[in-house]
Structure 1
Amino acid sequence: MLIAGIDIGSGTTKCVLVDEHGTVQGRAAVKTKANFEKVAREVLDEASSGREVAYTATTGLGRYAVSFRDIQITDLTCGARGAATLFPSTKYVLDIGAQCSRAIKLRDGGKVKEFHMNEKCAAGSGGFLERAAKYLEVSVADVGAMSLDATQPQTISSVCAVLAETEIINHVSEGVAVENILRGIHNSLADRALLLLKRVGLDDEVTLIGGVALQQGMVVALREKLGLTVHVPAEPHLTAALGAAVLGLQRYRKLTTAAAA
């Protein structure tokens, strides 16, 4: 018996499968396309490899668009539960996705107690990193490692994405090394993340999730800014999908128990 959690994000659609014990039995990630239903089916087929799925929980931007879902759950809830599943002691979660960043304070059981998010400007999200990488003619996959090679990180002080991009252009015109610009971008994202975390009362270890957590340069920048333990899952971009699968399993158990009574 398999339960699927599908996270349809603005950039990537992810799927995690768990069995009746909550153990991961499959995973996949594909680029999000305009047809959310089709991309959800595609990622589910890739993760399941033909195995039967008993229950499907969807989350993310396109969670309502999947007709074969059994339940839809907010990505805030799923990200929190996924992080708590991987790191049970964590009380704070930082989720940096393509569109926005969120700081979450957890209650026992991985439930959301409080959260704050930055969605008004892309300067605090992964989307800004992607645009910067494109301008700098660097693969997004290489950004994290290149950032670690910085010797003189350049400050990116603007809180507006448009103005921040202007700063990057100015740095390039001045001959600043790409590595130093990239580390400056990571430091800027870490500064914004710290402000969000302070709003939820950060005073302990934090778990970093979302696609940006795949970049080691970002992880290092955040650890330096916080001065606290920062947990990073082995596959941080799959955390919300895992949370959806775990919550889906919980719901499936309730339904089957009620049906058997």
Structure 2
Amino acid sequence: MNDKYYVGFDAGSTYVKSALIKGNEVIATKVMATGIDNVKTSELLLESLMEEAKIKRDDIAFINATGYSRRTLDLADDTISEITAHAYGIRLTAPKEAENIGLIIDIGGQDSKIICLDENYQVKNFTMNDKCAAGTGKFIEVIAQLLETTIDKVGELSLQSLSPCQINSICVVFAQTEVVSLVAQKKNRNDILAGMHISMAKRVSKMARKYKTKGSIVMTGGGALNEGLRIAFEDELMTDVYRANHPQFNGAIGAALIGQIQHEKEA
């Protein structure tokens, strides 16, 4: 059975992420903008995964989908909830230095999630913020545009801050107004970005503190690639916060792993 491959899709409102695994190894990952036809997008991603791995469609035993629009992907054999997918994904993406993972902080483009795990990596509880963009990648993107930079640069720039600005608003609209005011005051861009990360960490950490866990904390989602944000979480939670391997694809990897487990049980 180990000669078969498994695919997972994480179909979000903005991007479709995909992962190809074999056994407990991540073979390839791909992402594309969702566009107006996410079915076509998923088909293109599947072709790209197979091309990179140099395999054929018959080599793939099972395709599983998660995410906002998972039920629309015709090529999927089954679907699974995002929370469950992320919990399984961390089994393959957790860095070696993170032991006995108890909490996942997932900072996505449209929402943020806190997932509490038991000692077997099963979901004990979770909290999701999907009603407000504050605490999400969209918030970072909006502020980055205001400060004439890009989302991939804000982490590095914020780490150069000498005096982080204070951003009090937890609403994106009001936070934008605060940032505009700080720019008018000629505040340093790096200090504003550092203040933004601190503000996000404070907001999301309130959700994380609901769960008492002695296990390691691991960040997933695109936000995990932002080193400034990761460090802000460490400062706020006063503990190590690790970055998952393939953090943006954790949900897709988890979906693929669940598909593998399900298929092997039925075989």
Same fold (TM over 0.5): yes
User: By how many angstroms is 1:62 displaced?
Assistant: 1.6
Q: Which segment drifts farther, 86-95 or 113-122?
A: 86-95
Q: Is structure 2 residue 201 aligned with structure 1 residue 194?
A: no
Taking structure 2 as the reference length, what is the TM-score of the superposition? 0.91
User: By how many angstroms is 1:202 displaced?
Assistant: 4.3
From 234, 249, 254, give the equivalent of 1:238.
Answer: 249
Q: Which segment drifts farther, 39-48 or 161-170?
A: 39-48
Whichever structure has more helix as a proportion of its residues is 1
What secondary structure is seen at the aligned counterpart in 1 of 2:20? strand
CA contact (8 A) 2:102 2:214 kept: no
From 231, 240, 261, give the equivalent of 1:229.
Answer: 240
From 10, 17, 22, give the equivalent of 2:13.
Answer: 10
Number of equivalences: 255
From 55, 60, 78, give the equivalent of 2:67.
Answer: 60
What secondary structure is seen at the aligned counterpart in 1 of 2:209? helix
Taking structure 1 as the reference length, what is the TM-score of the superposition? 0.93
Q: State the AA in 2 paired with 1:135.
A: L
Q: State the AA in 2 paired with 1:80.
A: A
2:47 corresponds in structure 1 to: 45
1:30 corresponds in structure 2 to: 32
In structure 2, the gaps of 5 or more residues are: none
CA contact (8 A) 1:152 1:180 kept: yes
From 153, 158, 162, give the equivalent of 1:147.
Answer: 158
2:76 corresponds in structure 1 to: 69
From 95, 98, 102, give the equivalent of 2:109.
Answer: 98
Q: Is structure 2 residue 262 aligned with structure 1 residue 251?
A: yes
CA contact (8 A) 1:56 1:71 kept: yes
CA contact (8 A) 2:8 2:256 kept: yes
CA shift in 2, pair 1:41/1:109, >3 Å? farther
Q: State the AA in 2 paired with 1:27.
A: T
User: By how many angstroms is 1:77 displaced?
Assistant: 0.9
Stretches (4+) displaced over 6 A? none
Q: Is structure 2 residue 93 aligned with structure 1 residue 86?
A: yes
In structure 1, the gaps of 5 or more residues are: 257-261
Structure 1 residues 132-173: Cα deviation after superposition (integer angstroms, max 9, x where no partner): 111211111111111111111111111111111111111111
Q: State the AA in 2 paired with 1:155.
A: Q
Structure 1 residues 89-123: Cα deviation after superposition (integer angstroms, max 9, x where no partner): 20111111111111111124322110112222111
User: By how many angstroms is 1:5 displaced?
Assistant: 0.7
2:217 corresponds in structure 1 to: 206
Structure 1 residues 178-228: Cα deviation after superposition (integer angstroms, max 9, x where no partner): 111111111111101210101122444211100011111111111111111
Q: Which segment drifts farther, 45-54 or 121-130?
A: 45-54
User: By how many angstroms is 1:37 displaced?
Assistant: 0.7
What secondary structure is seen at the aligned counterpart in 1 of 2:239? coil
CA RMSD of aligned residues (A): 1.5
What secondary structure is seen at the aligned counterpart in 1 of 2:46? helix
From 164, 174, 177, give the equivalent of 1:166.
Answer: 177
Whole-angstrom distance in 2 between the partners of 1:202 and 1:188: 23
CA shift in 2, pair 1:110/1:85, >3 Å? farther
Whole-angstrom distance in 2 between the partners of 1:143 and 1:76: 28
Whole-angstrom distance in 2 between the partners of 1:130 and 1:73: 29
Q: 1:129-144 alignment to 2 at 5 Å? A: 129-144=140-155
Whole-angstrom distance in 1 between the partners of 2:199 and 2:152: 19
Whole-angstrom distance in 1 between the partners of 2:86 and 2:16: 14
